[in-house]
Amino acid sequence: MTDAVLIETRGRVAVITLNRPEARNAVNRDVAAALESAIDTLENDPDLWVGVLCANSSGQARPVFCAGADLKAIESGQLDTLFTERGGFAGFAFRERVKPVVVAVDGLATAGGLEIVLAADVVVASTRSAFGLAEVTRNLIASSGGLFRLPRAVGQAVAMDAILTGEPIDAQRAFALGLVSRLVEPGASLDEALRVAERIAAAAPLAVRASRRVMRAAATADDEALRAMSDREFDALLGSADTKEGLAAFIEKRPPRWSAQ
């Protein structure tokens, strides 16, 4: 059985790879548990100072960093398996961390995939990347941080458009708006992310961690209240007829027939 998440060390850097390319790296039980375990390794190993999070997109006609939650798991009543107690969605979206994580995106990051990106500290992306929250097309909402982290990253107007339409933001625009910190050619995002991680690892680790704590605290002052509100809205939607229809339409590869119920 192939590991859902891979981890290797390169000096003081832990390289963590989402490894379900056949499922567009969608998050299932195995991914959530393994990603949380990989972050545990990063946090607990005193010789590791920085993480790089990337994805295996081999065999994909259109590269996908992560398509978010495995909707088949939601449809079959296994939603809770996509979350961990400490990390929330994918074992990462709300994980308390000391050490910084650089995410390397080389393809589409949508729904929970974008929420994983938004939970990282530095975003490196290729020009063929795109960033979206497509939950509304399945009668769901981005309840793992997307609804309040995306507006912080790109501004209220752009985020509202992307969230209500489900249409992704292309890499060039994401870079111009500040979601992406470094933009590179296709296939080069991991190499650039490693360069960023190595620069971070060369800096004073205590100063890096202190700087990160202050910046994260400034950005996340209201996250707990917003997370609780997102959870309530998500739970209300989950029991609706339209959510069942949205998930069935996705699995059956047909347009959904909404009833607003």
At residue 149, does pLDDT exceed 70?
A: yes
The pTM score is: 0.92
The string of pLDDT tens digits covering residues 72-128 is 888 888 989 999 999 999 999 999 999 999 999 999 999 999 999 999 999 999 999
Which residues have a catalytic role annotated?
115, 135
Contact by Cβ (8 Å): 116, 109: yes
pLDDT at 235: 86
The string of pLDDT tens digits covering residues 207-230 is 999 999 999 888 887 878 888 888
Cα gap 82→101, rounded to integer Å: 21
Q: Residue 134: exposed, middle, or buried by beta-carbon count in 10 A (0-12, 13-18, 19+)?
A: buried
pLDDT at 51: 98
Q: In the chain, what percentage of residues exceed pLDDT 90?
A: 76
The string of pLDDT tens digits covering residues 15-36 is 999 999 999 999 999 999 999 9
How far, in whole angstroms, is CA 235 from its chain's centroid?
Answer: 20
What mean pLDDT do residues 140-155 have? 95
Looking at CATH, the fold of the domain delimited by 5-219 is given as 2-enoyl-CoA Hydratase; Chain A, domain 1 (3.90.226)
Q: Please compute Rg for the chain using Cα positions.
A: 17
Domain boundaries in the chain? Answer: 5-219
